[in-house]
Structure 1
C-alpha cells in the first residue's frame, strides 16, 4: 500500500497533484527520488519553477518546516536551484512527454 504525497508534513493537495502529473504517485516514490530529481520532474512536467517551492519540498522531505533555514543553507539551496533550472532548460520538449513515459525513460537512464 502506498502513502499519498500529501501525507508528508508540509506538502498538500497542490503538491500531490503536481507530483501525480509528473508521474510521482506516492510519498515513497517521492522520498526515493529525492528533492532535486523530484523537482526536476515537476518542472519538466509543467510545474512553474519557484525557489520557495523547491526548498519547501526539500525541507518537507527532511521533516522540517519550510521556513527552518539559516542564511548559509538558503544560499546553498539557491545555488542548487539555479543549477537545476539550467538543467531543466537544457531539456527541450521534455515537458511534452507523458509523465509515465518520462518516468520509464528515467528508470532506464535513457534521458
Structure 2
C-alpha cells in the first residue's frame, strides 16, 4: 500500500481529501504528477484557488517548511499560480461541469 498524501510534510487530512477528490490517491502519485499538474487537477475538481495552498504544495513536494518561500522565488511561484489558475479554474462552472472536466468529457477551455 502506498503512503497517504498526508504523509508528506505540511499536507494534512484536508489536503489529502482534496487530492482524493481530484483522483490523486497517494503520496507517490502526487510526487509523480508534480505540483503544477496536481494543483491544476485540484482546481478542476472544485478546490478554490488560493496562492498559499499552491505554494504549500510546492514546498511540501520539496520537503521544505511551508513558509520557506520568499523573495524572487515567491514572485516566480505567483506567476506559475496565476497561469495555472487561468488555465484550470472556471469560477462559473458548477460541480457537474467540473466533474465532466475531470473525467475528460468536455474539451479544455469549453
The interval holding the TM-score normalised by the smaller chain is 0.7 to 0.9
Q: Is the 8 A contact 2:8 2:60 kept in 1?
A: yes
Residue number in structure 2 paired with 1:73 = 73
Structure 1 residue 95 displacement after superposition: 1.3
Alpha-carbon RMSD across the aligned residues, in angstroms, is 2.0
TM-score normalized with structure 2 length: 0.84
Residue number in structure 1 paired with 2:26 = 26
Structure 1 residue 14 displacement after superposition: 0.1
Where structure 1 has 5 or more consecutive residues not aligned to the other structure, the ranges are: none
Indicate whether 1:51 and 2:51 are aligned.
yes
Partners in 2 of 1:10 and 1:89 — Cα distance? Answer: 24
Indicate whether 1:82 and 2:82 are aligned.
yes
Where structure 2 has 5 or more consecutive residues not aligned to the other structure, the ranges are: none
Which of 95, 98, 106 is the equivalent residue of 1:95? 98
Partners in 2 of 1:17 and 1:30 — Cα distance? Answer: 13
Indicate whether 1:35 and 2:35 are aligned.
yes
Runs of 4+ with >2 A deviation: 96-99
Structure 1 residue 98 displacement after superposition: 7.7
TM-score normalized with structure 1 length: 0.84
Aligned residues: 103
